[in-house]
Amino acid sequence: MTGWDALRGLGELRFPGDPGFAAVAPVNRRFAATRPAAVLSVTSAADVARAVEWAREESVPLVPRGGGHSYAGHSAGPGLVLDLRRLSGIRVEDGTGRVTVGGGTPMKALYAALRPWDLTFPLGNSDTVGIGGLALGGGVTTISRAHGLTCDALVSTDVVLADGRVVTASADEHPDLFWACRGGGGGNFGVNTRFTFQARPAPAGSTCVVLWSWPHAVEILAAMQEIMLGAPEAFSARIGIARSPGEDGVVSVVGHHLGPRSELRELLAPAFAVAAPDRADLEDRDFWAAARFLHHGSDGGAFAARTRCTPHAIGDAGLEALVRAVDKWPGSGSPDGAGAALFAWGGAIGRVPVADTAFPHRDTKFLLSLDTSWTEQDTPDVVRANLDWLHALHAETGEFAPDAAYVNFADPDLEDWRGAYYGPNAARLAEVKRRYDPDRFFSFPQAL
């Protein structure tokens, strides 16, 4: 029996070329060349523990993979990828609203299981994003200004540690590990095989998609920032400027308000007064219809994103710089194009003290996300031009927004990623890492 054969009893083991192997490739095709030696699809915490012990003994690097959406390809590696997608059981406890889910559960399954109960907690807007990556890095969603982060709803989690032990982390048991699992980023402390969250009644509300033409970009961005700084916590919005190949730039606001469309219209009135939109689609929707409407698909190509968390609005000079840069996007074959987006944070996110969880960016008012995309058919020159464009824009935005980045939009090109992702919580996270994984068995390019 070869070393790898010892894994066969622990789940489905696949090698390159086996049927189904490609299904666990990184979602971001920028990292398509990273090919693991093998993929093991596990179905229980006990099997995860035995696989971890095996990998230690054989000195094979191991990374857990949930939905595979890491922007930086962190759930792919050269050794063993532990595919958690079959750890996907979901149980809702009647009476308490506590929801226990397997560590690899995708959003689509969660929405489907919670809908009959009309209960929810902050969930991402893509069908295939995994609960593990989302919750461990924080988890900011369209209801987060009212309901907090995904990790704020976490009650406990079962973790397979580097030595193969399975522990439960909660406010009472292994509280330091529990603290680290709330924003410290996936893949750092162990394999989380199960999570329990506190759900709440799913709030009905309304949604909007509003588009303006390019000449209004700066004034709409400025007006929308002003609106969001004064908006009730029930309203959240993504304010974007973007370009696709061969198209003019477009300004968009995609919003979710936990209140009626009439209120949403009033909230947006100052932006409508700045310039008449080309399209304004405002609808009352129950929570489940809103989630479906706000669902984000991707064409599955390659992309790069860089972020800055800012505690204040961006001034006109900064907004002009963003618009100028998007105007000069070098282009690629990807219909996803490139752009800059301001995600409004604040509200309930900011009410949790910075030291209470590992997620440090509690004072952020806007997450500035800069992104570009290309296809696998684009030439290396096109890819280089896109990355150069993104890096130059990221450098320029350093003049008006801090070096603070969101770990769930992992950025492989970030230099001081410890400081940027974790700020004042970096030192305590390093201590927790030393305690639970002293040999740094769980490792990837930006592992603590």
Ligand X SMILES: Cc1cc2nc3c(=O)[nH]c(=O)nc-3n(C[C@H](O)[C@H](O)[C@H](O)COP(=O)(O)OP(=O)(O)OC[C@H]3O[C@@H](n4cnc5c(N)ncnc54)[C@H](O)[C@@H]3O)c2cc1C
Q: Please state, in angstroms and rounded to a whole number, the distance separating the CA atoms of residues 379 and 374.
A: 9
The contact pattern for ligand X, residues 101-120, with x = CB under 6 A and - = no contact, is --xx----------------
Q: Find the shortest distance in angstroms from Cβ 411 to ligand X.
A: 11
- Sign for the CA dihedral angle at 309, 313, 319, 321 comes to negative
Q: Find the shortest distance in angstroms from Cβ 128 to ligand X.
A: 7
| By CB under 6 A, residue 129 contacts ligand X | yes
Q: Candidates 59-67, 202-210, 257-265, 270-278: pick the segment binding ligand X (CB under 6 A).
A: 59-67
Q: Find the shortest distance in angstroms from Cβ 428 to ligand X.
A: 19
Q: Please state, in angstroms and rounded to a whole number, the distance separating the CA atoms of residues 265 and 271.
A: 10
| By CB under 6 A, residue 84 contacts ligand X | yes
* Residue closer to ligand X (CB basis): 149 or 234: 149
* Residue closer to ligand X (CB basis): 225 or 446: 446
Query: What is the length of the chain?
Result: 448
Q: Which of 64, 183, 240, 423 binds ligand X (CB under 6 A)?
A: 64
| By CB under 6 A, residue 184 contacts ligand X | no
| By CB under 6 A, residue 196 contacts ligand X | no
Q: Please state, in angstroms and rounded to a whole number, the distance separating the CA atoms of residues 235 and 290.
A: 13
- DSSP for 45-105? HHHHHHHHHHHHHHT--EEEESS---TT-TT--SSEEEE-TT---EEE-TTT-EEEEETT-
- Picking from 446, 437, 434, the residue whose alpha carbon sits closest to that of residue 409 is 446
| By CB under 6 A, residue 66 contacts ligand X | yes
- Greatest CA separation for the chain: 73
| By CB under 6 A, residue 187 contacts ligand X | yes
* Number of DSSP helices (H) and strands (E) in the chain, helices first: 12, 18
Q: Which of 40, 42, 48, 63 binds ligand X (CB under 6 A)?
A: 63
| By CB under 6 A, residue 29 contacts ligand X | no
Q: Which of 7, 25, 60, 70 binds ligand X (CB under 6 A)?
A: 70
| By CB under 6 A, residue 145 contacts ligand X | no
| By CB under 6 A, residue 359 contacts ligand X | no
Exposed e or buried b per residue across 303-319, where buried means at least 16 C-beta atoms within 10 angstroms of its C-beta: bbbbbbbbbebbeeebb
| By CB under 6 A, residue 139 contacts ligand X | yes
- Sign for the CA dihedral angle at 379, 380, 381, 386 comes to positive
* Residue closer to ligand X (CB basis): 226 or 363: 363
Q: Which two tokens stand for residue 180?
A: 């680290």
Q: Find the shortest distance in angstroms from Cβ 407 to ligand X.
A: 8
List all residues 6 or more positions away from 90 whose beta carbon is below 8 Å from its beta carbon: 99, 100, 101, 102, 105, 109, 110, 113, 114
Q: Find the shortest distance in angstroms from Cβ 150 to ligand X.
A: 7
Q: Candidates 58-66, 92-100, 210-218, 220-228: pick the segment binding ligand X (CB under 6 A).
A: 58-66
Q: Which of 140, 220, 322, 383 binds ligand X (CB under 6 A)?
A: 140
The contact pattern for ligand X, residues 393-422, with x = CB under 6 A and - = no contact, is ---------------x--------------
Q: Please state, in angstroms and rounded to a whole number, the distance separating the CA atoms of residues 292 and 406.
A: 25
Residue 170 burial (10 A CB sphere; 0-12, 13-18, 19+): middle
Q: Which of 47, 55, 60, 67 binds ligand X (CB under 6 A)?
A: 67
How many Cα neighbours within 13 Å face the side chain of 271? 32
| By CB under 6 A, residue 249 contacts ligand X | no
Interface with ligand X by CB under 6 A: which residues? Answer: 63-71, 74-75, 84, 103-104, 124-126, 129-130, 132-134, 136-141, 186-187, 191-192, 296, 298, 408, 444
